[in-house]
Amino acid sequence: MVLVDSGVNSSHLFWRFNLIDLKKIKRFAQEIHDKNNDGHGFDHIERVVALAQKILLTEPSANQELVLATCYLHDTYDEKLTDDVPKQKAKVAQFLNELKIDKKLIDELFMIIDNMSFSSNLIERKTLSLNGQIVQDADRLDAMGAWGIVRTLEYGWAKNRVFYDPNLPPLDYNSKEDYHSQKNNSTLNHFYEKLFKLKDLMNTETAKKIANQRHEFMVTFVEEFLNEWKGQA
């Protein structure tokens, strides 16, 4: 681990992973995600990393290694993937400690993961560092566009949800717990409850540009589906 001093003060210290650490982190995440079939497989993680790399090209002040490490680990203890979040988070922490990563870096990584999700920001928008904003943007971008549609379908199938039921209107959520405890819902509602809102929640200029195109693609898909449902197309 190399500590790089920006020459300003201690609040501007950047912690960097070496390449072998990132390789180990990638392998650790892959073992967790490889068998997932609800839209949170390792292919999702790799796309988030690629999107973050694209955003990083226009955000030179960000800590690239921290961003990429967080991208790899951001879903490793997500409540949608594990029944015991504290236990799984402890497993991730133990892994990072075994890599002898500084506690300050581990704390920032967990702070980003714990505050970046859509459900964590339902009541109020959490304040994230630039590093966190990039990870959040990359993750949200992969929930949009063509792959966002594919992942939404995968998640709905995994949860045995009906794709569309006109008798099930989109829901409003008052908390993270409320959001994750939903039971009687349709897959199409997810577009209205979350995906159509993401465009206006992007942080970086690069992400905003990508989000605009992906948003329009999703809107077209839903409009076409509803027109065909009604026999109007």
Q: What is the pTM of this model?
A: 0.89
Q: Are 115 and 126 in contact (CB under 8 A)?
A: yes
195 vs 35, higher pLDDT: 195
φ and ψ at 42, to 5 degrees? -70, -20
Query: Confidence band (pLDDT; 50, 70, 90) for 14?
Result: very low
Position of tokens 């990132």? 22
What is the rounded CA–CA span in Å between residue 99 and residue 95? 7
Q: What is the pLDDT of residues 98-136, one digit of tens each?
A: 998 888 999 999 999 999 999 899 888 999 999 999 999
Cα torsion 103, 66, 63, 40: sign? negative
Does pLDDT of 76 surpass 90?
Answer: yes
pLDDT of residue 216: 98
Count the Cβ atoms, other than its own, within 10 Å of residue 54: 16
Reduced 3-state DSSP string for the chain:
CEEEECCCCHHHEEEECCHHHHHHHHHHHHHHHCCCCCCCCHHHHHHHHHHHHHHHCCCCCCCHHHHHHHHHHCCCCCCCCCCCHHHHHHHHHHHHHHCCCCHHHHHHHHHHHHHCCCHHHCCCCCCCCHHHHHHHHHHHHCCCHHHHHHHHHHHHHHCCCCCCCCCCCCCCCCCHHHHHCCCCCCCCHHHHHCHHHHHHHCCCHHHHHHHHHHHHHHHHHHHHHHHHHCCCC
